[in-house]
Structure 1
């Protein structure tokens, strides 16, 4: 280990925690680890990690303390009783915006600076710059700036705001968009499933089409900020709702349930019925706000 490389503590050695540990060790950081099941830490000792026998000792070992645990409740349970005064706590445990904000207040009460995080990657992408992984951070900007080089080792760090709930919010927003995309991909392959069409042969066309369509995110953002949902519309809502009938009819002909598509189509129809046929689908966003 390099003497001038900052040390840090990592709590939690699940699949993601272990990947984080390997990345920091490979970069020469002095790493203290703790895991509820100590056996998982043994593989890291040969690479230079120090195993702390307790959470309290792990926290005391370094100013920067990173938690990558099961859930928000486990963060509170794990750090209960540890002296966090003067520590910089970075929580990379998956949670909600409200949990991030509450955990920031909890840390402040204990004299610690706090960052909440959202890891936009799977373990094999960690520590591999070309993989495109990034980690969202929100909370103390001073903490982020001070430890930026260390935080950049596992994946590209992106600070999204002083509000500690923003990292989780961005995380879930991105995952929600991904889930909708997966629904569309599933429906597309289902339509072809009983035909003499190679899924592997269709995949490049599908991926290319979806990539081209992602540019719609920019026009949606522009319309939301301008308040004009008719701005730069190429296919209006009236046309799209009419086109939906063909998609539904084709699904029926192919023996495929349309249940992955109909919730969004129903909202499109409601917006059209309200007299917004010259818009595109941006107005649906207003329908689902409660």
Structure 2
């Protein structure tokens, strides 16, 4: 039986990666490992040394990097960095595909799509939903949006980085999903640290507190999926039956968290923000509804209560 490593490997399509932070380096190594020739460029040249040693080619300029491949992947701080890097290379963009995996707002992402189109380049926006060490693993997935045909054309290459999840033609959709996921992620991390600080004030070390808290965090998905009906379907229908955890009950809990945090002299920004969601819902007459009713004041924080809600 012939070992697979002894078989000749057909060279795959070249890819350019611009931006060599931890994510850009991980993507470069993943693409190299999959057999793609990779050209790289980074403002700080020293960051390229490791991936060049692994087989990447360092371009002297952004224009040279763009011209090396039909597929140009950007991993930068934000979308302004795209303009800073590529404004001197716009003549090289025509006919190529720019995949921007940088973080920014959906509106700026749409503006970037129009900018790329103005320079006759195809454009995909994306957001990698795993940390750099997980790029290229089975656990990795990346959201994309933009031209459907463009996505299909580069699907095999982009799949090397992680499972592609295409959301639609609007370039801002992938960025919106990315920001929504990170809103959940960052809020969860802050909540985790706040809870750890609470327990620490009571003498419970973090090494003991964190396993208990993480177990509670893991159970949230099970709680949300409990029952026969999808909570998402009920939210879309504007239905908030108060047969389990009501706004009033959860609001009382949020009050207790604020009081406890105050007594421990902890920062109150997070618990006060949570408390405000429930107090607004109660003020608007929804104390007996399910806790999901707080989404109304999140969507429209300044909307006054209607007469029916006050009655």
Q: Is the 8 A contact 1:120 1:134 kept in 2?
A: yes
With over 3 angstroms needed to count, the CA separation of the structure-2 counterparts of 1:36 and 1:266, relative to structure 1, is closer
Q: CA offset at residue 160 of structure 1?
A: 1.5
Distance across 1 between alignment mates of 2:125 and 2:294: 31
Trace 1:117-128 onto structure 2 (pairs within 5 A). 117-128=126-137
Determine which of 214, 232, 237 is the counterpart of 1:226: 237
Alignment RMSD: 2.1
* SS of aligned partner of 1:276: coil
Trace 1:245-284 onto structure 2 (pairs within 5 A). 245-284=255-294
- Count of residue pairs brought into register by the alignment: 287
Distance across 2 between alignment mates of 1:51 and 1:94: 24
Q: Which runs of 5+ in 2 are unaligned?
A: 1-7, 301-311
With over 3 angstroms needed to count, the CA separation of the structure-2 counterparts of 1:186 and 1:72, relative to structure 1, is same
Distance across 2 between alignment mates of 1:36 and 1:92: 17
Q: CA offset at residue 110 of structure 1?
A: 1.3
- Larger relative CO (CA 8 A, sep 6+): 1 or 2? 1
Q: TM-score, normalised by structure 1?
A: 0.90
Q: Is the 8 A contact 1:223 1:282 kept in 2?
A: no
Q: CA offset at residue 53 of structure 1?
A: 1.9
Trace 1:26-175 onto structure 2 (pairs within 5 A). 26-80=33-87, 81-82=89-90, 83-129=92-138, 132-175=139-182
Q: TM-score, normalised by structure 2?
A: 0.84
Distance across 2 between alignment mates of 1:206 and 1:147: 41
Q: Which runs of 5+ in 1 are unaligned?
A: none
Q: Is the 8 A contact 1:89 1:114 kept in 2?
A: yes
Q: CA offset at residue 49 of structure 1?
A: 1.7
Q: CA offset at residue 181 of structure 1?
A: 1.4
Distance across 2 between alignment mates of 1:47 and 1:185: 38
Q: Indicate the larger mover: 148-157 or 100-109.
A: 148-157
